[in-house]
Amino acid sequence: MPGYDPAARQEPAPVKILVAGGFGVGKTTLVEAVSEIEPLRTEERLTAAGAGVDDLDGVEAKTATTVAMDFGRITLGDAGVVLYLFGTPGQERFWFMWDDLLSGALGAVVLVDTRRLDRGFPAVDFFVVVGANFLREPVGSTHGCADFRCGVHSRLRERGYQGCTVFDCFGAGQKVSQVTFGGRDWRSAPESAGAMFAVFPVVRQLHELLRYAAEALDLPAARPVHRELRRRHDEIDALTRGGAAELLAADVAALRAEVNALLLRASELARASVPGRRRDHRGADLMGARLRGAKLRGASLRGAYLIAADLAGADLREADLIGADLRDADLSGADLTGALFLTQPQLTAARGDGATRIPATLRRPGHWRP
C-alpha cells in the first residue's frame, strides 16, 4: 500500500488496573460505566445464607454481589494505552482472590463510600501491606513506619482491621529481602521494588507449601509418602533460595498440584486409624452451619467454607483442615487436638475460648475469651 509504513504502526500498550474496595462501594457500577466493551460480571443474588455475614448497613437495597471479578476495557488512543480493568470482589470472604488479581497490575483504584469511610480502610491497607505506591497518601493510611513495621499493629483488631491480623507471609518477607535481594529493601533501592513485589507472592506460596510438607513429614502414619515428600520439600526449598528471575519463571500451580496430591495421601494415611465413619466435607459450603457438638473426628474439611459456622463443642480431632475458611467460626469448647494442617492464621480468624483445645504447635489467639 503506497505510503504505508509498517514500522510506524504501534500497538497500544496493555495496562492492568484493579478496581478495588469494600462491600457495596460501586466497583461493578464503575466498570460498567466506563468500559467500552460489554463488561464481564460475576454477580450472584444475596440470599438468606449471607445473613449475619454480609453487612448491609448503608446498602440495604443491594440484592446482588460480585463473587469473582468484573472485567472491562478502555482504549486511550492518544496515550497509546489500553486499560484492562479488573474489579475485585468486595465481601471479605472473597478477599483471598485479591492477591491473584493483583498479579501483573500496574496499580489500583480504591473506591470508598463516603457514608461509610471506616469500611474503606481495610482495602487501602491491603495495598499498603503489599507495598503499592500512592500518588497521594490517602487519609487513614499513614500506618507504615520507617522500620517497615505496621504503626498500628498492636491495635489492628480494635480498630476494625481484622483481615490484617490474620495475614501470615510464612516467612516469605524475610526470605525475599534477605536472600533473593541480598539484604536490600524497596525504600533504599526503589529500582528493585517492582521485582520485589512480584516475587513476594510467589515465595509466600512456596513457603506455605514447605510448611504443609514439613507437617506431613512429622506424621509417622504418612511414612509411605515421606520419601517423595522430602524430595519435593527440598526442591521447593532450593527454589526459594534462587534469584528473582528463577522464581518468577516457576510454575507454582504445578508445584501446588504435585504437593497437594502428596498431602492428600498423607492425610488419608494419618486419618485411617480414626475409629468410626470419617465424614467427607471437602470443599463444602458450610457457611453459618449449625455444627455445635458435631462429631467430626478424622473428617476431611479440606477447603470447606466454615465462615461464621457454629462449631462450639465440636470434636475436630485429627480432622484435615487444610485451606478451610474459619473466619468468625465459633470454636468455643471445640477439640482440635491433632488437627491436620491447621495454621495460626486460621485459628486467629476464628473465635474461641479457654476451653478450646488446640494443637501444641499453635498459640491461643489473644482475642479469644478466657
pLDDT tier at 240, thresholds 50, 70, 90? very high
Express each pLDDT in 100-132 by its tens digit: 888 888 888 888 876 666 677 777 777 766 666
The residue ranges of every structural domain in the chain are 12-165, 172-271, 276-370
Topology of the domain covering 12-165: Rossmann fold (3.40.50)
The pLDDT tens digits for 347-359 are 998 999 999 999 9
Q: What is the C-alpha to C-alpha distance for residues 308 and 286, in angstroms, rounded to an integer? A: 9
Handedness of CA 188, 189, 193, 197 (dihedral sign): negative
**How does DSSP assign 130-144, residue by residue?**
TT---SSPPTT---B
Nearest in space to 120 (alpha carbons), one of 26, 209, 211, 47:
26
**284 burial type by CB count under 10 A (0-12 exposed, 13-18 middle, 19+ buried):** middle
Averaged pLDDT for residues 31-53: 71
pLDDT recorded at residue 57: 56
Per-residue pLDDT band for 64 (boundaries 50, 70, 90) equals low
Q: Which three cell numbers stand for residue 37?
A: 466493551
Contact present, 358 and 321 (Cβ < 8 Å): no
User: Quick one: what percent of the chain has pLDDT higher than 90?
Assistant: 41
Distance of CA 48 to the CA centre of its chain: 25
DSSP annotation of 278 reads P
- pLDDT at res. 243: 93
Burial of 2 from C-beta contacts in 10 A (0-12 / 13-18 / 19+): exposed
Dist. CA 353–CA 364, nearest whole Å: 9
Give, in degrees to the nearest 5, the angle at Cα 223 between 217 and 228: 70
Distance CA(193)–CA(164), nearest Å, equals 22
Residue 311 has pLDDT above 90, yes or no: yes
Each residue of 133-178: pLDDT tens digit?
554 433 333 344 455 555 555 666 666 556 566 677 888 888 988 8
In this prediction, residue 48 has a pLDDT band, given cuts at 50, 70 and 90, of: low
What is the enclosing helix (H) or strand (E) of 13? strand 13-21
Q: Identify the pLDDT of residue 189.
A: 75
pLDDT tens profile 167-204: 778 888 889 888 999 888 766 777 777 788 788 888 99
Residue for cell digits 472485567? Answer: 71
pLDDT classification of 43: cutoffs 50, 70, 90:
low
Q: How far apart, in Å, are the Cα atoms of 184 and each of 155, 192, 193, 247, 359?
A: 29, 8, 10, 17, 37
pLDDT of 58 higher than 70:
no
Which of the listed CATH numbers 3.40.50.720, 2.160.20.80, 3.40.190.10, 2.60.40.1110 matches domain 276-370?
2.160.20.80
pLDDT tens digit sequence for 313-329 = 999 999 999 999 898 89
Are the C-beta atoms of 342 and 326 separated by less than 8 Å? no
Is 276-370 in the same CATH topology as 12-165? no
Residue 124's pLDDT is 77
What is d(CA 226, CA 263) in angstroms, rounded to the nearest whole number?
10
The partner residues of 74 in beta bridges, in order of sequence, read 83
pLDDT digits (tens, 9 = 90+) for 71-90: 998 887 666 778 899 988 87
pLDDT digits over 272-288, tens only?
Answer: 999 988 999 999 999 89
pLDDT at position 142: 39
Residue 352 pLDDT:
96
What is the model's pLDDT at position 306?
93
pTM assigned to the model = 0.64
Pairing status of strand 70-76 against strand 81-87: antiparallel
Band of pLDDT at residue 291, cut at 50, 70 and 90: very high
Average pLDDT, the chain: 81
